[in-house]
């Protein structure tokens, strides 16, 4: 069966510090991978998605970047965090088929202080 791992679960970082959140998927090949941010327990904003190794698409301009160094690894990064980067970050994957649901990681609560 497929599983998705996302870590860390919580993170408190000072303004101006770097960020690296990691997400890995097991039990599937060539998944579509996504990073979402959820503000204040409400709607999800798609930040990045990837359909293959090294292929990253950004949905919104921001202080963050993403990379996919391996087929089932997706990393969210920042060189210098801003206060506005605080939020709940969710990694997800889906197959390449249009009729399949997405599977989400447990999320990372990032607080920038």
| Residues of the shown chain interacting with other proteins in the complex, contacts defined by CB under 8 A | 6, 32, 34, 41-44, 46, 49, 51, 57, 88, 90, 92, 94-107, 109
- Helix, strand, coil % over all residues of the chain, rounded to 5: 5, 55, 40
The nearest distance, CB 43 to other proteins, in angstroms, is 4
- Which of residues 10 and 16 has its CB atom nearest to other proteins in the complex? 10
Cβ atoms of 52 and 33 within 8 Å: the answer is: no
Query: Please, which residue, 16 or 96, has the CB nearer to other proteins?
Result: 96
CA atoms within a 13 Å half-sphere pointing along the CA-CB vector of 14:
2
- Closer Cβ to other proteins, 19 or 91, answer by number: 91
- In the complex, the smallest distance separating the C-beta of residue 17 from other proteins, rounded to whole angstroms, is 23
For residues 97 and 43, what is the distance between their CA atoms, to the nearest angstrom?
Answer: 24
Q: Which pair of structure tokens corresponds to residue 14? A: 């000072």
Q: Which is nearer to other proteins, 10 or 79 (CB)?
A: 10
């Amino acid at each position: 069966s497929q599983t998705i791992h996302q870590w860390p679960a919580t993170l408190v970082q000072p303004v101006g510090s770097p960020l690296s959140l990691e997400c890995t998927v097991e039990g599937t090949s060539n998944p579509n991978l996504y990073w979402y941010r959820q503000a204040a327990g409400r709607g999800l904003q798609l930040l990045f998605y990837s359909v293959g190794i090294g292929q990253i698409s950004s949905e919104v301009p921001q202080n963050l970047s993403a990379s996919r160094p391996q087929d089932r690894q997706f990393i969210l990064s920042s060189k210098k965090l801003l206060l506005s980067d605080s939020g709940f970050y969710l990694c997800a994957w889906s197959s390449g088929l249009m009729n399949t649901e997405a599977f989400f990681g447990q999320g990372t609560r990032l607080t920038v202080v």
